[in-house]
Amino acid sequence: MKTYENRTDEELALLYTAGDYKAFDELLARNQQKLFNYILFVVHDQDMANDIFQDTFIKAIVKLQEGKYADSGKFSFWLTRIAHNIIIDKFRRNKSEHIIEPNADNDLSHLSNDTLTEGSRESQYVNTQIMNDVRHLMDTLPATQREVVYMRYYQELSFKEIAEITGVSINTSLGRMRYALINMRRMAKQHQMFLDLDI
């Protein structure tokens, strides 16, 4: 009996392309919760998230079977990229979101989120409360802005990684974060919430 637990996702993907169908079951088990959480967070609709999740894995299976996966050490990024493209296609078809693109000169790369993880127990509690408030504010953002905030804060991806997954430039990723922060700060002010977050 084969064991898969010590195999990387990339090894499992290559095993699957070689005809080991149980390797894909393991890939699915490893990645389904994280991927579904990402999709649901972006689209905010359980039924749509389920459809996109299924479409993502169907597309992944097809690409794997066609030999269109190259082991780059980033299987989960590859999967997230497929999901992202399906989400964008759905939004375009539904015309349900107005996407605001940033200016080319947006550069927020000098900021960091180190302050979220530093400090005493009291500051950790305050940061937890702030993150809860941020989560509520994020729910009202357009999908592209919500997505970049989620990837940055909850998946702790760099702007380079976010740009790679979403298929946009780093400046566009930074710009979307900038607009998201502007919108969240405006909403926080309207609701008299205190936010002190860096990206």
Per-residue pLDDT of the chain (199 residues; tens, 9 = 90+): 468 888 999 999 989 888 898 998 899 899 999 999 999 988 988 988 998 998 998 889 888 888 888 777 788 889 999 999 999 888 887 764 444 444 444 444 444 445 434 444 555 555 566 666 667 778 888 888 888 888 887 788 888 888 888 888 888 888 888 888 888 777 777 766 655 544 4
Task: Taking the CA atoms of 168, 174, 180 and 183 in sequence, report the sign of the dihedral they define.
Answer: negative
State whether 118 and 176 are in the same domain. Answer: yes
* pLDDT given at position 124: 59
* pLDDT given at position 178: 83
* pLDDT given at position 199: 45
Residue 100 domain flag: no
Cα distance between residue 11 and residue 98, in whole Å: 40
Which residues span the domain enclosing 154? 114-190
State whether 25 and 65 are in the same domain. Answer: yes
Residue 151 domain flag: yes
* pLDDT given at position 198: 47
Residue 130 domain flag: yes
Q: How far is CA 156 from the centre of its chain?
A: 9
80: which residues sit within 8 A by CB, 6+ positions away?
Answer: 35, 38, 165
* pLDDT given at position 33: 92
Residue 199 domain flag: no
Q: Coil, strand or helix: which one is 142?
A: coil
Which residue stretches of the chain are H helix? 9-17, 21-43, 46-65, 75-94, 121-138, 143-149, 159-166, 170-190
Side chain identity at residue 92, one-letter code = R
* pLDDT given at position 92: 80
Cα distance between residue 167 and residue 133, in whole Å: 29
* pLDDT given at position 2: 67
CATH number at residue 42: 1.10.1740.10
Residue 106 domain flag: no
* pLDDT given at position 39: 92
Cα distance between residue 197 and residue 195, in whole Å: 6
Tokens of 8: 């990387």
- How many domains does the structure of the chain reveal? 2
CATH number at residue 152: 1.10.10.10
* pLDDT given at position 82: 92
Cα distance between residue 34 and residue 32, in whole Å: 6
Residue 50 · residue 57 · CB < 8 Å: no
State whether 61 and 125 are in the same domain. Answer: no
* pLDDT given at position 126: 55
